[in-house]
Structure 1
Amino acid sequence: MEKLDCGNVFGPRDREWHPGDWLQESDRLKEVLSSNGVDSEVSSVTSAYRGGESGGRKLLGIFVTRKLDAYGYASENYGETKRGEYGSLLSPYLNFGFISPSEVISRSMESGAKGHSLDAFLEKLALRDFAYVRCALEPNYGSYEAIKKSERDAIEQIKAKDEDRTYRDEDWANAQTHDNVWNGIQRELLLRGRNILNDRNIWCYKIIDIEKASRNAYRVARKLNDKYMLDAMGPVGIFALLTCFESYAAYRMRLAGGEG
């Protein structure tokens, strides 16, 4: 990895800088990033996601002592909605290696949580490994073609009957569409760095709903996901997008049948 050139940003090197110093000196951090060609447009998130290893372990402790015992019931009844209330919120820390799956599993199994809740949570962790396996076996895992062909065909048949509409990338990024529900979810993403109070699938489904061309919908979703989601830029984030697109036709059928 190439070392960043800090130039004269810090002045005299009279002390050693630590991660906490970077957070305290955000203006200097932005100057260093900008001078090295790093896009610092995305602002720092306002949420529980602070710190690295210590932050991840703090959230893990909260989860196993306060939330895990009711996880099975909550995940069945709320799905992705309200995940901020009952979920572990550990995905970004797992994604960047601040905490390991083995530590999460060990702490969870030692917590005394009921079998159903423990099994439900471990199943979610296993899906992360499945995401890595799928991407390893799919040469074009980051492209629109990675979506199963049968599901691509189903989406394109549905979209052929939809209104012809598209938005500029900046309109999407700034939550300036005609859909107030989607705008609200996107604003939450900009503020928190994750959709933890809303269903991430709804965020993705509505992009497909709004954009006439499904291929462009994937491009938009991938761009926003990679830029603003804290747990993006890896197999798990890509797998989440693929799963959303591959379940879109079933979602539209539920809406048409009055079930959604």
Structure 2
Amino acid sequence: MEFFLFNITLILLGGSLGSFASMLIYRLPLSEKEVSIIKPRSFCPNCKEQLSIWQLLPFVSFIMARGQCKNCHQKINIMYFVNECLMAFLVLYFTHITFSSYFISAAMLAIVFILYIQSVIDFQKLLLSTPLSFLLIIIGIIINFKWEIFTISLDALLGLILGYGILFSINLLYRIIRSQDGIGSGDFLLLGGIGSVFGASSLGPILLMGSSLTLALHILKIKTETKLPLGFGIGMASIFYLNMFAWIKYH
């Protein structure tokens, strides 16, 4: 019974994180000064009607509303519900795979949370949040310098420098040849944050997987724009890398 209640608590926590992730994904790319991550209260993106506390409940609100806004009856983006379900799964997964340490579980979930939000924003808007990338760097430096959870402190520092420097150098060369940027500066910072978490040795596999995934989006016509979401690719590749790390070390 205790195990069941524990899992229910984790699912509710994950659903709440998914709801929060949806809010960040929607609001962080907005340029309007009157909308921030703090205010106003959550509202329908279509009619701007503020949502009641019951309309904010994870899982239940979407199902009870049948995927529609109560006020304007417009369809609610299914990704809100998907984010809640996915984060609930990730909370369950990483908590149980690192069952010996809730601190390590929390650290991994914080990293996944940031990477997921960055990936979705970049996929949808071709933008990356600078504050979230800086937060990822801070987390990477603290957990590796203090506890060496993923790698030693020197490797984390090298990962930060090389992660930023590799993409910066590639873009600089491209700019010299083509007189325009080929990679967004947000990608430099994101890969630097990833390097600070997993270390310099992780950058090769993550860049290979990430660039392959990004290229696949274009080949499969999922993304047909001239600009491609490299941040999405390296973000998803980093989540996969973290999963492999956790599976090998703690399973």
Output the TM-score relative to the length of structure 2: 0.32
Structure number with bigger Rg: 1
Higher helix fraction (1 or 2): 2
Question: More relative contact order in 1 or in 2 (CA 8 Å, sep 6+)?
Answer: 1
TM-score normalised by L of structure 1: 0.31
